[in-house]
Amino acid sequence: MSFLENDTAAQERFNLLLLEPGEIYFEDFSVFYYPNSPNKIKDTDRKHRGHLKICSKSIVFVPKESAYPILKFPLKYVKDMNEWSSESLFSKHDVKDKGLKIVSDQVVEMKAKNIISPYVFSREPSEHRFTLNYVAVDDCLPQMCQLHRASTLPPAEQSAMINAIVLSRQSRVKFNTSWLEDLYEKIILETQGDRISPLVTNPGRIMLTNRRLYFQPFNNIESMPVIKIRLKDIRRIIKRRFLLKPIGLEIFCKEYSPCTHIYLSMKSHDARNQLYDQILEQPDINLEDTGQEDMTIKWLSGHITNYDYLLYLNSVADRSFSDLTQYPVMPWVVSDWTSQYLDLDNPDTFRDLSKPIGALNPERLERMKERYTDMPEPKFLYGSHYSTPGYVLFYLARIAPEYVLCLQNGKFDKPDRMFNNLYDTWQNCLQGAADFKELIPEFYSGNAEFLLNNGITYFGIRQDGRPVGDVELPPWAKDHVDFLNKLKTALECKYVSENLHHWIDLIFGYKQRGEEAEKADNVFYYMTYEGAIDLDSITDPNERACMEIQIMEFGQVPKQLFKTPHPQRFSSMPLPSVLVPQLSVVESTNESPDTDPSIDNNVEIQAQSESNKTEPVELNLTSDLTGMDGTEVVGVSSLQMSHSYLVHKGSVTDMRLSHDGKYIFSVSQDSLLKMYSLEDQRQLRSINLSKMALSSCLIMPDDKTIIVSSWDNSVYFYSIEFGRILDTLMAHDDAVSHVNWKNNVLMTSSWDSTVKVWNFTPPGHHHSFTAAEFVGQLDHDSGVSCQFVDDNCTILVTGTKEGMVYIWDMNTLYPIAEHSVHSGNVNAVLLSTDCRRLLSCGDDCYLRVMDIETGTEIFVKDLHHQLLCLRWNGHLLVAGSDTGQIQFWDIEKAQLQHTISAHDGKFVLEISQLS
C-alpha cells in the first residue's frame, strides 16, 4: 500500500499541492487572461481561457490549454489589485466588460505543457489582466482585496485575519441536504472537519446520517461535490493522532465501495470522539473483526510475517499512509551493500537491530555524546529524526515528484543529493552528521516502481554528467524486482526474526523515551515526542505556526506501545497440533448455586460415540482436529453428550478423573466427596468430609489417595483404598480455595491472602502415610482464587480476587513478578507448555496472554462472558465458560476454533482430561 493508491490530490492539473502548506482554496471564476505584451491588438487575439482560483495566500490562474503554464500570484508580492476597463484599452475589439488587473513583483509558473518540473519564479514587476465570463468584478474583487490586505500585515496579525476570514466564510456554509442519497435518512450529526491527504488539508462539512457519512468540501477541488460513504461499507475505523493531537479519524471501506478510504481531522478531541461514537451506534455499522489485538501472539508464533506485524505496530502507533508527517517506518535490516551474494546465514550481513541508526557508528556517536553532555535541557542526541516527510519523499521522489515540489518550495533537490544509490544512502546514514533515517514500507512490498525513473520527470544532471535515472542497486541484486524480493526475504529471515524485538523496543517500546532511551542512545529533540507540547495552549499565533511547521517537517516519534521489553519471536515455527486420544469430563454449576442445590448437581461426560453404551466411554477429542494449518476443526464438532449423572445435591465445585480412566471424583458445596464408577455407571462412595462446602480436589498418581480442600480452612487427605480420612491439615485462616501437587510439593491457596507450600509424599508400597510438612508461605494483597504450577514445579502462578497475577520461583519461594491483569477476580491461570506465556481469565470477561519474560501483554480478548477454567489439550486450549460452553482455542493463532454448548445456561467450572 502507498499513499498514492488513495490520494487524488495530484491527479488534476490544479491541486492543493500547488499551494503553500496549510493554505486554503476557496473558489474559482471562469476568466479570459490577456498576457502582458506591448502589442495590445495581438494580446486580445491570443487571450487564454481558464479559471482564476482564489486562495488564502495566493491567486492562481489555471489556463484551459495545458500548453500554457499555471500562474500563481503570491499575495505578499502583489502591489496592486484593481478593476480596469477593457473598453478603453481594447477599443478596436469587442471587449467591453470591466476586467481585473493584478500587478505583482513575483509570478510563479508551474506545469508548463503539463510537465511536472521545478517552478519558474519570475521576480520582475509585471501586470496581468483578466475579464470574468459569468460574474461581475465586484463578485470577486472585494474578497481578493481583503485577503491581499491580510498579506501585508505582520505574520501574527496576518494569520489572525486569515483565520477570521476563513471562519466567516465557512460558518456561512451549511451542508447541502439535497445531496442526501435517501430522503428518509435521519440526520444524526453535522459538524466541521478537514479531509487529510499527504501534505494537504482540505476543510469541509461532515454529515452523519443513519445510513451514510458525507463530506462536503468548502471548495470544488474534489472529484465529487460530496463524498458519500455507506455505513454498511465501512470495515474499519481507527482513531488517529494528527499533529501530535488526538483529533484524527481514519475510515477504511470495502474494496468495491465508491470511496474506499477517508482520513478526517476534527477541531478537538471531543469532537472527534463524538463523531466516532455516533458512527458506531448506527445500526448499519458492521465492522470486521481485524483480530488486531491478537497480532502480537500471532507474530510470536510465526503465523504472520515480520512485515505485517510492523505495519500493524505502525498503525496502532498512529502512523498512516495518508499522513507524511507520520508515515509508516521500517528498519534497515541489511548492512551488506557491496557483496556479489547476499548471505542471509551470515550475521555480519545484517544491521545491529538493538541500536538506533545514529548509534551504529561508534565514532559519530561519541562526538554526539560529547555534545550531549554539555547541552542544556532539554537534551537530545539527534537533531534530526528517522522519519520525516522529507525522508519519505527522498525515497519516493521518482513516483511522487509533485509532492517533492510542494514540500521543497517548487524545487527538486540537487541531483547528486537525491536517492541515486543504495550503498551511498546507507553510508550516509552511517557517516552523515545529521542523517539517521530508517526505511519505508515500499522497500519490503510492492513492485519496486519507486526505484525506477520513468522519464516523465526531469530531475537534472549529476556532477559526473549522468542524468538522474534509476536507483543504482547493490551487486547482489540482478534487477529492481530481484532487489525487492531479496529485501523481503531478508526481513523475514531467521536472524531478523530473532532480533526484531530489539528494534521494536527502540521505535515503539520501552527504549523510546526516558531513562531507557538514554541508555540506548535513542534520544531525539523533545518536540518530536507525544505530549511534549500542547498546541491548544499556545496563544501566540506566530509561535503556534512555528510549532506546527516544526512538528510537520521535523518528524514525530510514534505513540509508545510497550512499557516493558518486547518478547522475542520464537526461533522456530509452531509445532503441529498432534494430540493423543483423551477423555474429557466437564463439570457444571448453576449461576446461583446456593439458591436451589437440587437443580445443578450433574457431572456430564462429553463423548464422540454412535451409541450410549454401558462400558467405559472412550473419547478422542483431538485425533480429528486440524491443528495449525488453518483448516476447520472437525473432530470437536462431532462431540455429543454420552451420559449425565446425578451425583450431588449442591453445586459441583471440582472434579477429577482417575488416572486409569475408571472413576470420577467430585466435590460439592453440599460438603460431600463422591466417587462414581464409569465401568459400572453407578456411585460407589459418598463421604461427608466437612460441615462446610468443599472447594477443590486432586488425586495422587497411584489413584489411592485424594486431597480435598474445604471452606472450613482445612485440607483433608482421604484414602480411596481404605475408605477413611488419613489426616486433616488445618492449613489456613480462611477458606481454602485450591490445592495443587507436583513432585511431592503440595500447594494450598486461601482467601486469607496466602499460598502455603508443604512437603508431601503420598503413601506407597514402601512407606505409610506421612503428614504434610510446612515449607513456606507466599503472601498476597488479597484472597487467592486460583493457582497453577508447571510440570517441573519451578514456577507457580497465582491469581487473586482483586485481579492480580503473581509469578513465584518455587526454588526460592520469592516472587518473580506481579501484574495487575484483571479488574476483578481472576478465575483461572495457566502456563504454556514452554513456560513462556501466562494465560488468565477473570470476571471482567477478558482472556489475556502475557509473555512471562518481559511482562508484555501479547493477546487480549473481550469475550463478553466469563471463562471459569482453562486446560491444555496438546496445543489447543480448552476453556469452560459461565454460559455453559466449552471453547477450543488455538492460542498460537489466537483463534477460537470451535464451541460446544455443553450445559444449558450453567457454569462450566472444571475441565479434566486423561492423557
Domain that holds residue 306: 298-553
**Same domain as 93, residue 194:** no
pLDDT score recorded for residue 534: 76
**Same domain as 217, residue 319:** no
Place 391 in a pLDDT band, splitting at 50, 70 and 90. Answer: very high
Q: How many separate domains does the chain show? A: 3
pLDDT score recorded for residue 532: 77
**Same domain as 215, residue 115:** no
- Give the highest mean pLDDT range of 390-399, 522-531, 622-631, 857-866: 390-399
Structure confidence by residue, pLDDT tens digits, 659-680: 888 999 999 999 999 999 988 8
Mean pLDDT of the chain: 86
**Same domain as 374, residue 237:** no
Place 685 in a pLDDT band, splitting at 50, 70 and 90. Answer: very high
Q: Angle at Cα 260 formed by Cα 258 and Cα 265, nearest 5°?
A: 115
The pTM (predicted TM-score) of the whole model is 0.84
Choose between 749 and 572: higher pLDDT. Answer: 749
839 contacts 824 by C-beta, under 8 angstroms: no
**Same domain as 66, residue 93:** yes
Which spans in 327-447 are helix H? Answer: 362-373, 389-396, 401-407, 422-431
Place 573 in a pLDDT band, splitting at 50, 70 and 90. Answer: very low
Place 611 in a pLDDT band, splitting at 50, 70 and 90. Answer: very low
**Same domain as 125, residue 29:** yes
**Same domain as 277, residue 306:** no
Tell me the average pLDDT across 450-454. Answer: 94
pLDDT score recorded for residue 501: 97
* pLDDT at position 98 over 90: no
**Same domain as 309, residue 231:** no
CATH number of the domain where residue 154 is located: 2.30.29.30
90 contacts 37 by C-beta, under 8 angstroms: no
CATH number of the domain where residue 393 is located: 1.10.1540.10
735 occurs within a structural domain = no
**Same domain as 282, residue 199:** yes
Cα separation values, 848 from 294, 300, 694, 839, 844, Å: 10, 15, 28, 6, 11
pLDDT score recorded for residue 75: 96
Tell me the average pLDDT across 616-621. Answer: 29
Tell me the average pLDDT across 592-608. Answer: 40
pLDDT score recorded for residue 699: 95
* pLDDT at position 782 over 60: yes
> Where a domain ends, among 170, 204, 233?
170
**In this structure, what DSSP letter does residue 185 have?**
P
| 3-state SS string for 79-146 | EEEEEEEHHHHCCCCCCCCEEEEEEECCEEEECHHHCCCCCEEECCCEEEEEEECCCCHHHCHHHHHH
Q: What is the DSSP annotation of 771-832?
A: --EEEEEEE-SS-EEEEEE-TTS-EEEEEETTSEEEEEETTTTEEEEEEE--SS-EEEEEE-
683 occurs within a structural domain = no
In 10 A of CB 201, how many CB atoms?
16
* pLDDT at position 613 over 90: no
pLDDT score recorded for residue 3: 59
**Same domain as 151, residue 182:** no
Structure confidence by residue, pLDDT tens digits, 70-97: 999 999 999 999 998 755 444 444 445 6
> Where a domain ends, among 170, 203, 220?
170
**Same domain as 440, residue 404:** yes
- Pick the range with the lowest mean pLDDT from 412-426, 592-606, 625-639, 795-809: 592-606
pLDDT score recorded for residue 369: 95
Structure confidence by residue, pLDDT tens digits, 18-65: 998 888 999 999 999 998 754 444 444 578 899 999 999 999 999 999
58 occurs within a structural domain = yes
238 occurs within a structural domain = yes
- Pick the range with the lowest mean pLDDT from 125-129, 158-162, 183-187: 158-162
Place 912 in a pLDDT band, splitting at 50, 70 and 90. Answer: low
Placement of cell 477517508 in the chain: 262
**Same domain as 446, residue 340:** yes
Tell me the average pLDDT across 785-802. Answer: 96
214 occurs within a structural domain = yes
Place 565 in a pLDDT band, splitting at 50, 70 and 90. Answer: very high
pLDDT score recorded for residue 605: 46
* pLDDT at position 417 over 80: yes
* pLDDT at position 618 over 60: no
Helical pair 155-171 and 141-151, crossing angle rounded to 10 deg = 150
